[in-house]
Structures are given as structure tokens and as C-alpha cells.
């Protein structure tokens, strides 16, 4: 049941809150820079990056572990791929998605200082995975929270809150949004620092698949790149992620579909809202 303070995200609500017209060239749909990956988890960046393109981003850049640059440039031929930290690309990026696939809090902290410090004043930021662990230790790592979306899973929310989110993630999302001054998307519950709240109710068990959160962070980044506001990108992102899962569940069953298949559904789901 949604709380009375949460608006349920339905196709009608989204159609009243349309995404910016995507009819311009790729320059007008923005550049996403995904910063993340490690020697042993390079695929998270691939999932997030491809999800950003499927959500409509114009250009994709990946800053990844040095030893994975060649493999990822072959796996994602649409992207420019450089070694971490990727600071040289940060100033020109419209959106920076930081965290997927990182595996060390100290290294992530350094990356956040370097990359977000080099970002332009209007750059939007999506923080996921290890970036949220680092943020839980040092809130100053998010220099301009106003254009940020945080996409924690329940473990990351616990690190950020300092306690378990409890049975209803809605109040936890609202508390985090207020604390960090950023939009928070937590398990289908979206909260904005101005107090607005939404809930997406179509999600199902199959969405709990490896890489699902990486895909969702990438969708949000792509929507921001094409010009959506942070709360709009988070609401559309949660809906598109959940409905893409529903469509896969109809074809394959409630569980067993893959995050990469979720990513492939994204463009069609957006087009049919
Ligand atoms: N194909 C791939 O490459 C995949 C990579 N993935 C990546 O794998 C990484 C690890 O994911 P797991 O869920 O196993 O993560 P862990 O179980 O290692 O940690 C869960 C979360 O706790 C936080 N954390 C860890 N150490 C902390 C500390 N010392 N202090 C505060 N917070 C801390 C981090 O924010 C982390 O995201 C993530 O970066 C994720 O993006 C997964 O999403 C699955 C797919
Ligand atoms: N059992 C479930 N029911 C509904 N939605 C789910 C379920 N499992 C996952 N999800 C959705 O998928 C998102 C990503 O899943 P999660 O396991 O938290 O990803 P990750 O650990 O990769 O970040 C969640 O935030 C939630 O919105």
C-alpha cells in the first residue's frame, strides 16, 4: 500500500510529466560518463552505460579499470573508453554516473573527489553502489547535491542511514533525500529533498537479479542526459526498470531474466508509456 504522502507512478502520471522531446541530434541528448568497474567486476559499467544509451543519452563515455579498457571498448563499441579516473572527461559530461562495479571504499572516495571535483557546475550526478558506501562515510563527497540522484539498494541505504530501512522503504527514502539534499530512489520509492514522494508498484521479484541496480542507475543517467529533471528521471527510471522486468517476466517467468535483457527492453518501454 502506498503511504498517503506518496503519489503512485502510473502511465497517466508520467504522460502528464513528459520527457523532453528527443527529436534533436545526439549533441542535444547529452553525454553520460560512467565511472566505475574493477578488474573483477567490469560488467557493471557495461550494463549502466548501455542502459543510459537505451534511455536516450546522446553519447556515452566509460572510465574503467585500466586493465579492462580494451575488453570494454570491444564490448561497447558505441562508447569512448578511458582508464580511471576519467577526470579529463568530467568537465564535458552532462551526467556522471559513479559507483557501479567499484569494490573499494578508499579508491571510490579518491575517485569521487577527483571526478566530481572536475565536473562542470551544471553536471548532474547519479551515485550508485560503492559511491554510496563512500558517501555514507563522508557526506562532503557530493559537492553540488541539487542535481544528484542516489540509487541505493537496501544494504547501501542501511550504510547511508546508519540503521536498517525497515519494512517500508518510503520513509527511509524521504529521510535520505532530506539528509543528502538529493533525489533518492530506493526500492521503488522516490523522494525529493523538497518533500515530494512517489512510489512505483509494478516491480517484482525477478528485478532482484545481478546487475539490476547497475541497469537502473544507467537508465536514470540516460534520462537526465536527455534533459529530465532529477526527480523526473528517478520516477521515469523506476517505472521503466519495473515495467521492463514485467515484460520479461511475461516471456520468461517471474525470475531468471538477466539485467542485460532488462537493458534491451528500456527503449521500447519508454516509447510505449
Ligand atoms: N557484472 C558486474 O560487474 C556486476 C557488478 N556488481 C557490482 O559489484 C559491486 C559489489 O556489489 P555487492 O552488492 O556485492 O557489494 P558488497 O556486498 O561488497 O557491498 C554492498 C554495499 O555496501 C557498501 N560498502 C561496502 N563496504 C563498505 C564500507 N567499508 N563502508 C561503507 N559501506 C560499504 C557499498 O556501498 C556496497 O555497494 C558493486 O559495485 C556492484 O555495482 C553487481 O551489481 C553485480 C554485477
Ligand atoms: N523482490 C522485488 N520486488 C520488487 N522490486 C524489486 C525486487 N527486487 C528488486 N527489485 C527492484 O530492483 C531494484 C534493484 O534491485 P537490487 O537487488 O536492489 O539491485 P542491486 O543490488 O543490483 O543494486 C530494487 O531497488 C527494486 O526497485
What pLDDT digit, counting tens, does each position of 43-93 carry? Answer: 999 999 999 999 999 999 999 999 999 999 999 999 999 999 999 999 999
What order do you get walking across the sheet with 31-35 strand by strand? 7-8, 197-199, 189-191, 183-186, 148-150, 124-127, 95-98, 31-35, 59-64, 80-83
**Is 192 part of a structural domain of the chain?**
yes
pTM of the model as a whole: 0.97
**Is 2 part of a structural domain of the chain?**
no
**Global ipTM:** 0.93
- Cβ-based burial of 73 (10 A; exposed 0-12, middle 13-18, buried ≥19): middle
**Is 17 part of a structural domain of the chain?**
no
Task: Please give the tally of structural domains in the chain.
Answer: 1
**Is 3 part of a structural domain of the chain?**
no
Q: Which of 44, 49, 131, 158 to mutate for ligand 1's pocket (most ligand atoms within 8 Å of CB)?
A: 44
- Do residues 149 and 172 lie in contact, with contact meaning Cβ atoms separated by under 8 Å? no
Give the residue numbers spanning the domain of 264.
26-197+206-271
> Which ligand sits nearest to residue 190's alpha carbon?
2
**Is 246 part of a structural domain of the chain?**
yes
**Is 109 part of a structural domain of the chain?**
yes
- Residue 4's pLDDT is 80
CATH of the domain at 187: 3.40.1190.20
CA 12 to chain centre: 23
- Residue 218's pLDDT is 99
**Is 9 part of a structural domain of the chain?**
no
**Is 10 part of a structural domain of the chain?**
no
What pLDDT digit, counting tens, does each position of 262-271 carry? Answer: 999 999 999 9
> Which ligand sits nearest to residue 204's alpha carbon?
2
Amino acid at each position: 500500500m502506498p503511504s498517503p504522502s506518496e503519489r503512485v507512478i502510473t502511465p497517466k502520471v508520467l504522460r502528464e510529466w513528459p520527457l523532453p522531446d528527443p527529436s534533436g541530434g545526439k549533441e542535444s541528448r547529452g553525454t553520460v560518463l560512467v565511472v566505475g568497474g574493477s578488474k573483477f567486476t567490469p560488467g557493471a559499467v557495461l550494463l549502466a552505460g548501455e542502459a543510459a544509451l537505451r534511455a536516450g543519452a546522446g553519447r556515452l563515455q566509460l572510465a574503467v579499470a585500466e586493465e579492462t579498457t580494451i575488453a570494454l571498448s570491444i564490448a561497447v563499441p558505441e562508447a569512448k573508453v578511458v582508464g580511471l579516473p576519467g577526470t579529463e572527461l568530467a568537465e564535458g559530461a552532462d551526467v556522471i554516473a559513479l559507483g557501479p562495479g567499484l569494490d573499494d571504499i578508499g579508491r571510490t572516495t579518491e575517485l569521487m573527489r577527483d571526478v566530481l571535483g572536475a565536473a562542470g557546475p551544471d553536471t548532474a550526478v547519479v551515485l550508485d553502489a560503492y559511491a554510496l558506501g563512500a558517501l555514507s562515510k563522508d557526506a562532503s563527497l557530493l559537492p553540488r547535491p541539487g542535481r544528484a540522484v542516489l540509487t541505493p539498494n537496501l544494504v547501501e541505504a542501511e550504510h547511508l542511514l546508519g540503521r536498517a530501512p525497515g519494512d517500508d522503504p518510503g520513509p527511509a527514502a524521504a529521510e535520505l533525500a532530506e539528509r543528502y539534499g538529493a533525489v533518492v530512489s530506493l526500492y521503488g520509492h522516490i523522494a525529493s529533498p523538497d518533500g515530494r514522494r512517489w512510489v512505483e508498484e509494478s516491480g517484482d521479484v525477478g528485478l532482484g537479479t545481478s546487475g539490476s541496480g547497475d541497469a537502473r542507475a544507467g537508465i536514470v543517467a540516460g534520462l537526465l542526459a536527455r534533459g529530465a529533471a532529477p526527480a523526473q528521471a528517478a520516477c521515469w527510471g523506476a517505472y521503466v526498470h519495473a515495467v521492463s522486468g514485467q515484460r520479461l517476466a511475461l516471456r520468461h517467468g517471474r525470475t531468471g531474466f538477466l539485467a542485460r535483457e532488462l537493458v534491451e527492453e528500456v527503449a521500447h518501454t519508454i516509447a510505449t508509456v
